[in-house]
Amino acid sequence: MTEVSMLVNGRTVSGAVEGRTLLVQFLRETLGLTGTHVGCDTSQCGACTVHMDGRSVKSCSILAVQAEGSEIRTIEGLAEGNALHPVQAAFKEHHGLQCGFCTPGMIMAATDMIRRHPEGLDEATVRAELEGNICRCTGYHNIVKAILAAAETMGDGEAQAA
Amino acid sequence: MYEVNYHRAGSLDEALKLLADADDGKLIAGGQTLIPAMKTRLAAPSDLIDLRHIAELTGIAVAGRTVTIGDPHVRHMGTIGGSLANNDPAADYPAAMLALAATIVTNAREIAAADFFTGLFETALEEDEIITAVRFDAPERAGYGKFPNPASRYAMTGVFVALDGKTVRAAVTGAGDDGVFRSGELETALVTDFSPSALDGVSVPDDALMTDIHASAAYRASLIVAMAKRAVTMANG
């Protein structure tokens, strides 16, 4: 067993893991952060998407020891108290989900996508960028609408702040 | 996944020593192929040597056009070196390296892309050799056309074309029995006229192409021409 330590949602956490422990197992089983889901377990569905050092990664394809010393953000770390993150609010407003299983990964992917496209997003870009996130219910339509709406809200917010 | 010992190397020398000391060590960079292979127990190394924190291996400067490949969450972790060393017959980067006539630089030597890819999941790399960089001249024009498998998003056929002066190179991935290869038929058609219509009526032999549950060799031969047209359109765009 190896002791690992990392910053998760702004809090320093540590725990003993095996070499083969996946980051998603550490998050869910050691830290109890079960918002991050395991969908396919074959690296394709993206339900386990979290941010590592600010960029979206699949936590089922990374060992916990590889994340040693890094900064992790999960779906639990997005809202500010009771105020939903703009992407979470947009998914609620536009009903960007049905069963909800893929939603944490979709939202973590969307927040990273919006960050990487400060020039704004269009539908084709959003659909292309969602290549690594699979939804089996919605047909993606409302997910795309929610991401476009959130990108607009967040862009406006930055413009006002500037 | 079987139990594995993890080591984080701080330098190339340390990585080489850790690799030499391990029973059955594997180098890991992004791990976007190796970790899934270990989860299904297709790979079971005794030790993993992590290259992600070696300063000498970062900062590859690539000039020229940007090629967008696949899933962003995988791209954030995956590395070009890892993809080349693994040489999956359906990976994207081997086609790019071959069409760009790239040089693969290792801790020991420099290898031309044409000599590097030697078969399915096989390369010219020795057991104790680590890719440290890739180098190529940005071509005048280049493009990539890919027909992704609907589930895995790996190339069922991908064609990378590059035009440089009077030279055209067209490399095909996802289709060959022995992995990535250059297509003389495509290159001959494109060298006189670098346009999608130059490929009308061109046919590629299917005797050395893969047949599997996803596609027959004949279908892949047809995809090669169709994806080459898309690649040329992208290059000319």
Q: For chain A, what is the mean pLDDT?
A: 94
Residue A60 and residue A24: Cα distance in Å, rounded? 5
CATH code assigned at B207:
3.30.390.50
B35 falls within a domain? yes
B123 falls within a domain? no
* Mean pLDDT, range B46-53, rounded to an integer: 95
Confidence of residue A159 (pLDDT cuts 50, 70, 90): very low
- Segment among A13-27, A108-122, B48-62, B109-123 with least mean pLDDT: B48-62
Helix axes A86-93, A103-116, angle to 10 degrees: 120
Domain boundaries, chain A: 2-77, 86-161
* Mean pLDDT, range A3-20, rounded to an integer: 97
Which pLDDT score, from 0 to 100, does residue B153 have? 84
Contact A85/A79 with Cβ under 8 angstroms? yes
Confidence of residue A162 (pLDDT cuts 50, 70, 90): very low
Of A162 and B204, more confident: B204
Which of A2, A22, A46 shows the shortest C-beta gap to B73? A46
Confidence of residue B64 (pLDDT cuts 50, 70, 90): low
Which pLDDT score, from 0 to 100, does residue B67 have? 62
Residue B103 and residue B137: Cα distance in Å, rounded? 10
Size of interface A-B (CB pairs under 8 A): 78
Q: Which domain holds residue B154?
A: 141-236
User: Which percentage of chain A shows pLDDT scores above 90?
Assistant: 92
Mutation site, A2, A51, A66, A72, interface B, largest B CB count within 10 A: A66
B130 falls within a domain? no
Domain count, chain B: 2
Chain B contact for A50, CB < 8 A?
no
B87 falls within a domain? no
Q: Per residue in B110-149, pLDDT tens?
A: 999 999 999 999 999 999 999 999 999 989 999 999 999 9
Which pLDDT score, from 0 to 100, does residue A67 have? 97
* Mean pLDDT, range B91-120, rounded to an integer: 96
* Mean pLDDT, range A128-143, rounded to an integer: 94
* Mean pLDDT, range A23-49, rounded to an integer: 95
* pLDDT above 80 (res B68): no
Domain final residue pick, B51, B76, B91: B51
Domain final residue pick, B34, B51, B68: B51
B6 falls within a domain? yes
Which pLDDT score, from 0 to 100, does residue A161 have? 41
Tell me which chain A residue has its CA closest to the CA of residue B41. Answer: A20
Contact check, Cβ <8 Å, A56/B4: no
B94 falls within a domain? no
**CATH tag, A2-77:** 3.10.20.30
* pLDDT above 90 (res A157): no
Q: Per residue in A39-85, pLDDT tens?
A: 998 888 999 999 999 999 999 999 999 999 999 999 999 999 999 99
Confidence of residue A160 (pLDDT cuts 50, 70, 90): very low
* pLDDT above 50 (res B206): yes
Confidence of residue A156 (pLDDT cuts 50, 70, 90): confident
Q: Per residue in A78-91, pLDDT tens?
A: 999 999 999 999 99
CATH code assigned at B39:
3.30.43.10
Nearest-CA distance B145 → chain A (Å): 15
Chain B contact for A19, CB < 8 A?
yes
User: What separation, in Å, do the N-terminal and C-terminal C-alpha atoms of chain A show?
Assistant: 48
Chain A CB contacts of B40 below 8 Å: 42
Of B62 and A121, more confident: A121
Chain A contact for B41, CB < 8 A?
no
Strands B141-148 and B110-112, how do they pair? unpaired
Contact check, Cβ <8 Å, A56/B76: yes
**CATH tag, A86-161:** 1.10.150.120
Domain final residue pick, B31, B51, B71: B51
* pLDDT above 70 (res B61): no
Q: Per residue in B174-184, pLDDT tens?
A: 999 999 999 99
* pLDDT above 80 (res B63): no
Residue A90 token pair: 């947009």
Which pLDDT score, from 0 to 100, does residue B58 have? 81
B58 falls within a domain? no
For residue B218, CA distances in Å to A109, B155, B190, B196, B232 come to: 38, 16, 22, 21, 22
